[in-house]
Amino acid sequence: MGRYRPTRLPDMQRSGEHGVTRDREKAYQAVINIWIKASPENFNTCAQVVKQNKIRKAGMRDSFGGLKEFPKDIRIGLSIPPGLYYTLVKYERMHNDEFMKTKADLRWFALKFPQFCVVDRI
């Protein structure tokens, strides 16, 4: 008889193997945390954006992002620090994908990372 060889799970089920995750939310969370911890400037920038987003939410005319001081057609959905945005874009390019290429991606990101979302409803 030969040696016992355990069956291997498909790639999507082996997500925790060797520190690699196939879960998109966990991957984004890891990238965001690494970017924030990379330098004090990143932490301060991120904290300022989150604070600014809270102020913007308070100044909304409606839950869809219409601003009180501008015409109703100007809307702000997400506010992400530029460095973090480019880091997420590079991360997606490394995995042969595109960051927020569809409305569903935008909605998903806004729901999973509400600190970067300005509006209540997307």
Residue 4 resides in a domain: no
Residue 53 resides in a domain: yes
Residue 51 resides in a domain: yes
Residue 55 resides in a domain: yes
Residue 2 resides in a domain: no
Please state, rounded to an integer, the average pLDDT across all residues of the chain: 75
Provide the whole-model pTM: 0.66
Let me know how long the chain is: 122
Residue 3 resides in a domain: no
> Residues 57-106: pLDDT tens digits?
776 766 666 656 665 555 667 888 889 999 999 998 988 888 888 888 88
Mean pLDDT over 45-52 rounds to 88
Dist CA 73 CA 2 (whole Å): 70
Residue 13 is predicted with a pLDDT of 41
Which amino acid is present at 89? V
Count of domains for the chain: 1
Residue 1 resides in a domain: no
Residue 78 is predicted with a pLDDT of 81
Residue 63 lies in domain: 23-116
Q: Which residues pair with 75 in a beta bridge?
A: 66
| First-residue to last-residue Cα distance in the chain | 60
